[in-house]
Amino acid sequence: MLLPWSSTQASEPASASSVSPGLIAALGQPAPARTPFAEARFMQVLDQPLVVSGELAWLGGDQLQRKVLRPQPETATIANGEVTLERAGKRPRHFSLKHAPQLQVLLDSFVALLSGDTERLNDAFEISQHGTANASWTLTLVPRDTRVAKTVASIAIDGNGKTSRCMWMQEDDGDLAVDLLGPLATQMPEQPSRELLQALCRGTH
């Protein structure tokens, strides 16, 4: 399942090519599709990365849910162009997806990949592919929407065959979020570094 950059890139092959429709089609799954994730967020204002874990779920159409289970439960649900944020002991918050560029990028990339929709992915991103569909590969996605690009510079998704292993979201301000996906989520180190996460995503650790 699901789902850049200079020195922080997850993989650094020698050459790139246009995206293969066969690869995107192979990643498609019927809804609902769910996968565990563990995220390390590297922020310039913090000495150590923030680590959260939980579940990502595509519920069909443009409905996406990001459920954080640790360290503090929180659920963000995208549906009908609106984001609903739920936290224990607090009233749900509702706001337009237009005010959350990171979630818009997550929605576009996640839904396009899980539905095997190459056209949607091309509409939302400039795409380059490293590697081949039957081996290790990396898709690098650069948002076409200039408003979104002012917040999210790029996304890279590392995978092998029909399986996505990692997603790297590079923000324009220099912050970086690295998500380990599926079974790899259980391998998030207690004290993650960019180098260690690169090795996990490459399958060399």
Rounded distance between C-alpha atoms, residue 59 and residue 114, angstroms: 10
Q: What is the identity of the amino acid at 32? A: P
The answer to whether residues 135 and 161 touch, using CB atoms and an 8 Å cutoff, is: yes
d(CA 129, CA 50): 29
Supply the pLDDT for residue 106: 87
Look up residue 154 and give its two tokens: 């790029």
Domains of the chain: which residue ranges? 21-53+101-202
d(CA 58, CA 16) in angstroms, rounded, equals 29
User: What pLDDT is recorded for position 8?
Assistant: 32
At the topology level, CATH places domain 21-53+101-202 in outer membrane lipoprotein receptor (LolB), chain A (2.50.20)
Rounded average pLDDT per 10-residue block, the chain, 205 residues: 32 47 85 95 96 96 95 96 94 93 88 89 93 89 92 94 94 96 96 95 75
Which amino acid appears at position 31 of this protein?
A: A
Tell me the CB-side half-sphere exposure of residue 130, using CA atoms within 13 A.
Answer: 16
Q: What pLDDT is recorded for position 204?
A: 62
